[in-house]
Structure formats: structure tokens, C-alpha cells
Chains A and B, each alone.
Chain A
Amino acid sequence: MEHKYSIVTENLTKKFGDFKAVDGISFEVNKGEIFGFLGANGAGKTTAMRMLTGLSIPTSGKAYVAGFDIYSESEKIKLNIGYMSQKFSLYQDLKVWENIEFYGGLYGMSSSQIKSTTKELLSKLEIEKESNSLVKELPLGWKQKLAFSISIMHHPKIVFLDEPTGGVDPVTRRQFWNMIYDAAAEGITIFITTHYMDEAEYCERVAIMVDGKIEALDKPFALKSRFKTDSMDDVFYRLARQAQRSDN
């Protein structure tokens, strides 16, 4: 079954003491799918993602990413995934091309591969002129697009995006989503967490997490018809209203 899906989880749970950050979630993500992971702050999205990327060890439950067991084969998973974290993940004190070179090298790319990929990547982002600038000198939107490009430069099977568009202007967000579609078209599975409900509409399927559990999982239009509304916002409010915990 692992071969049909990109990600499979069964009763995946993470406890911090008595607190169940993630409470027995089970779902499958298809290959090449854009899978949205929604939830209020503190709902457990990031914790779930950290377990899937091998940053955090689950308390119980099973999960397979790219066909590999997250307990015993986490290093193999790492070869097959890309990750872009909530915190800005590029080195601010390195130049644009130096960041590309470093991450390329990290995934075992050769110098010549890195060189050609860098060229391609910079022209796609139309920032050839900024190649020699330090990353900290770039505007936020550019940084996020660059970070995303770098996270998929080694052609991973799955890329995990943790609130990648936070604080980014609508135009850049639109461009960012175009990049996501391009990546999905290449066959990369996209696993994305977000707060923006309009972005949820761009996903093929979304899972909505409330208090560590998945309360709903379906295609956006199916969710809307189930809750008899025409906006994802409404769907989200109705589910999130039941939440016992919040971060304030």
C-alpha cells in the first residue's frame, strides 16, 4: 500500500507529557497531489509535519513517507523529501548562489549539476542580477520563492511546506502558487500547511485539524457542499469553533 501513496499515516500520535499535540491522525496522500493541511494555531499541524519529515519522533502510530518507515528509515526519507520551514530557512549571510550551491551540495549534487541548476533556477525566478547579493538584502517575497525553489532543486518525491506564504503580499502569493503547480506537474507531491483559506481552494484535497485530530478531509468543493456553504472560510470556522485549545 505504501507504493500507491506518497504519505500514509495510521493513528499517528505525539504527546508532550499529558498534552496530545497530535491525536491519532490517519490519512493518505496520493502521489503528485497538492495536499493542504489546515488548522488554527496550536492545532498540531507543525507537529504532524515535523514527525513526517523526521524532525520529531512520534509517541505512537505508524507512518510511511515515500514508502519508507518514519521510525527506521528516516535517513532514506530525507533523501526523498524537500522541506521549507516556517522560519526562514536560507542563510541570510550567504549570497544567493552560495545558498543554492550549499543546498545542492548537501543533497549530493555535483559541481556541474549545481552550476546548471543555479542558472536555470535564477532565470526562472528572474533574479539573475541578484545572484551575488546576500540573501538578507532580498525582499521577503523573493526569499520565499527562492527558498521554495531550493527546497525542490534536488527533485524530491515530496516537498513539505510549512506556512510558506506567511507575510507575503497577494501578488507574490499568486506567483508562489504557480510555482507549486509547476512542481506538482513535475510529479512532486506537495504537502502544505496554511492559514489562508483562499489557498485551501488551490489544494486538491485538504485536511482540517482541530485540537490534534483531523476533523474533515476531502476535496474543497465536497467540504463546501457538506457544510452547505460556498466558502472555505465558513467550513473552517464551523470546525474550528469547536476547538478547546488555542494559543491565546
Chain B
Amino acid sequence: MTTFIFILKKEFRQIFRDPAIIRIIFIMPMMQLIILPFAADYEVKNINIGIVDHDHSDYSRELISKIENSTYFRLTGYTNTFKEGLKWVEDEKADLIVEIPNRFEAELIKESKADLLLAVNAVNGTRGNLGAAYTLGIIQQFNQNIRAKWFQMPDFNPEPIIDVTYSSLYNPLSNYQFFMVPGILAVLLTMVGGFLSALNIVKEKEIGTIEQLNVSPIKKYQFIGGKVVPFWLLGFVILTIGLIISFIVHGIVPGSNIGVLYLFTAIYMLAILGFGLLLSNFTNTQQQAMMVAFFFMLIFILLSGLYTPIESMPGWAQKVAALNPVTYMVEVMRMVLMKGAILRDILPQLKIITLYGVVLNLLAIYTYSKQNS
């Protein structure tokens, strides 16, 4: 036991003597949590729209002004030819064009039916589709207004109208930051736990000090414990700093069951540290460790439900996501911070991540060898 205390002392001294690690631990979470949630926003705004108006009627002008007044669009310009409109799209000046045909108004009045063309630049699919959807919404509204103007509404409306009211549960303002912040916090914990621990061990390999340890009577669990404990504790420091920043900057109040989050983090960090140790057992230089860690980190982040909902992924990707420990941390983080989940709610995630922790750490201890063959 005294040996282990000496080992811990040495690890802590080295960590706190390294200015890079201090920066990673304190500055990185602040930067990411303060800046990223404002920048990484799903809402598509400022869609560039070009309008080709062949009609030049009251109606076409009314429709155009409705589009112009929407906050989603930025008008690229008006033109009389579809050709020029298409050129705007090709030059990336417009994301979509609306073509109002000749005799738009006349046909609408006479035949109570008219055609419009929406041409969408689908290179950025999300942007194009959302732009089209916004435009359709505006046109539909325009359509209803005309109906109301031209036809006396009968007492009995032949077309039933369903009036929808909705309320955003758990995130009343549908604030995007509330969704992103817990996710970013989860990723930060993963980086510190998985990367720093792996790099730390591989660094000993590179310098050669690990040989000095391997010829000493140090036990496997002492060596691994010495690497795990400091980073495990740092996980709590980062979580705490992160929660304080989320509260101050984004107004996220964790609620009374914050203990659940710490409990989950405690086990999650063990699992991720096990991953880092495993990684370090199979790499010999810090570059190798970085590259492998980067590879996994991309998968971890993209398939964790942080940016895109897991439910809308293809079947195989959902299976990968279910194997991804980060998925569970992101889930629990959101459940606790946004829905006020209690211990019972997160039990399924807790069980899985405990299993992860046990398996990864056993593998790490098993594959760590003081000898090479």
C-alpha cells in the first residue's frame, strides 16, 4: 500500500508539472463549452434564395414579399429568366430558386389553380431540404390567405382544419445549447480519460523509464492503478468545471439529482480509462497512440448521438452506436441535466457501462506485460 502511495505521488507530480496537461484540463473544457454550443447549431438560417418572376403581378409580388420577410431567407436577387437563376445556383450564390410562371395570377383567379417551380441545390442536402420546406410552408400560408380572400368561408368548412398546439417538454425554449452542452461535456470526459491516460503510458515507453519499472518488483495493478487514479479524479474536476460553465454561460441548472451524474461519471471514467490503457498496451509511440485514438474518437463522436439522432441511423450504425460507450454518457448527461432523471431511469445505461468498465480493465491488465517475448 505504501508503495502505491509513492507511485501516486509520482504520477500527480508529473501531471501537475506538465503545463500542456494543465491547459488541456482547464482551458480546453472552457473553450469548448463556452464557444462550441453557440457555433454548432442545427438551425439552418440565411438560406440564399433567388426569385424568377415571369408574372409581375400583385399576387406574385405578395408571395415574394412573404418570402423576403421570413427570417430564414436572404434574397439573392430577382430575375426574369430561369437561366440566370440557375447560374446563381451554379455560382453558389443561391441555395434555391422559386420560379413564378407567366399568368400565375390570372390562372389562380380563373382556374383557382396555379403552378410554381422550386429548384433546390441539393449538394448540401440538409440546407436544400430545409429551404424547400420553409418555402413550402410560406406558399401554403399564402394559399390559405387567398382562399380566405376569394371564397366566402362556408359555415361548414369542406376541408377540415386541424389546429395544432405544441409544447416543448424538458427544453421549453427549444434551446439548442441545452442539447449540445451535455453532449460536449461527455466528449470532454472521454478525451481526458481515453487520451491522456494512453499518452501518459506511451510516453514512459518512449523515454524508456517503463523498462526501469518493469525490472522492479512493481505489481501490474500498482502500475495500472497509478495511471488510472489521477485521471479518474481529473474526470470529476472536469465535470465540475463543465457544470459550472454550463450554469453560468448557458443557464443549465443541473437539479437536485446531480449525484446520479457523478455516480455515472465515476463508472464511465473507469471504462474509458480502461480503453486508454488498452490502447497504450498496443502502441509504442505517442504518435501511434494519437492516431489510433483519433480514429476511435471520430467514430465515438459521430456514432454517439451527439450530433445526429441514433434512431435515424441505418441498422448497422445503430448497432455500432450501441457498442459505443460515449453513446451512454451522452444519453445520461442529457437525461440528468434536461429531464432530471433519477437513478432508476439511468439503470440500464449504468449496467452496460459497468460491464464495459470491467471488461476493458480486465483486458488492459491482461494485455499489459512486464516482459516481451
A-to-B contact residues, CB < 8 Å: 53-57, 74-75, 78-79, 81, 83, 85-94, 98, 101-108, 110-111, 160
Given the complex of chains A and B, what is the CA–CA distance between A94 and B12 in angstroms?
Answer: 11
Given the complex of chains A and B, what is the CA–CA distance between A79 and B217 in angstroms?
Answer: 5
A93's contact among B3, B17, B208, by CB below 8 Å, is which?
A: B17
A85's contact among B18, B212, B218, by CB below 8 Å, is which?
A: B212
Residues of chain B lying within 8 A (CB to CB) of residue A102 = 6-7, 9-10
Residues of chain A lying within 8 A (CB to CB) of residue B373 = 56-57
- A105 lies within 8 A of B211 (CB): no
- A98 lies within 8 A of B3 (CB): no
Known: A74-B371, A93-B17. A55 touches B6 (CB 8 A): no
B214 at the A/B interface (Cβ < 8 Å)? Answer: yes
B146 at the A/B interface (Cβ < 8 Å)? Answer: no
A54's contact among B3, B213, B371, by CB below 8 Å, is which?
A: B371
Min CB–CB distance A34 → chain B (angstroms): 20
Interface range on chain B (Cβ under 8 Å from partner): 20 to 34
Residues of chain A lying within 8 A (CB to CB) of residue B370 = 54-55, 74
Within 8 A of A (CB), among B97-140: none
Known: A57-B371, A89-B209. A107 touches B2 (CB 8 A): no
B215 at the A/B interface (Cβ < 8 Å)? Answer: yes
Residues of chain B lying within 8 A (CB to CB) of residue A160 = 215
Residues of chain B lying within 8 A (CB to CB) of residue A91 = 10, 14, 209
A107's contact among B17, B18, B216, by CB below 8 Å, is which?
A: B216
Min CB–CB distance B335 → chain A (angstroms): 41
- A107 lies within 8 A of B217 (CB): yes
Closest 6 A/B residue pairs (Cβ):
A105-B6, A87-B208, A83-B215, A89-B212, A102-B10, A78-B217
Among residues of A, the one whose C-beta sits closest to the C-beta of B11 is A102
Known: A93-B14, A108-B217. A56 touches B7 (CB 8 A): no
Residues of chain B lying within 8 A (CB to CB) of residue A105 = 2-3, 5-7, 9
Residues of chain B lying within 8 A (CB to CB) of residue A88 = 207-208
Given contacts A56-B372, A78-B215, A83-B215, 13 further A-B contacts (CB under 8 A): A53-B215, A55-B214, A57-B371, A78-B216, A83-B212, A87-B211, A88-B207, A88-B208, A94-B17, A101-B9, A105-B6, A105-B7, A106-B216
Residues of chain A lying within 8 A (CB to CB) of residue B208 = 85-89
Residues of chain A lying within 8 A (CB to CB) of residue B212 = 83, 85, 89, 103
| Residue from the set A53, A91, A101, A106 with the largest chain B CB neighbour count within 10 Å | A106
Within 8 A of A (CB), among B1-43: 2-3, 5-7, 9-10, 13-14, 17-18
- A98 lies within 8 A of B13 (CB): yes
Residues of chain B lying within 8 A (CB to CB) of residue A86 = 208
Within 8 A of A (CB), among B130-173: none
Residues of chain B lying within 8 A (CB to CB) of residue A106 = 3, 6-7, 213, 216-218
Within 8 A of A (CB), among B208-228: 208-209, 211-218
Given the complex of chains A and B, what is the CA–CA distance between A57 and B214 in angstroms?
Answer: 13
Among residues of B, the one whose C-beta sits closest to the C-beta of A108 is B3
Among residues of A, the one whose C-beta sits closest to the C-beta of B17 is A93
Given the complex of chains A and B, what is the CA–CA distance between A57 and B5 in angstroms?
Answer: 30
Given the complex of chains A and B, what is the CA–CA distance between A104 and B214 in angstroms?
Answer: 15
Residues of chain A lying within 8 A (CB to CB) of residue B7 = 102, 105-106
Given the complex of chains A and B, what is the CA–CA distance between A94 and B204 in angstroms?
Answer: 13
Residues of chain A lying within 8 A (CB to CB) of residue B10 = 91, 94, 98, 102
Residues of chain B lying within 8 A (CB to CB) of residue A90 = 209
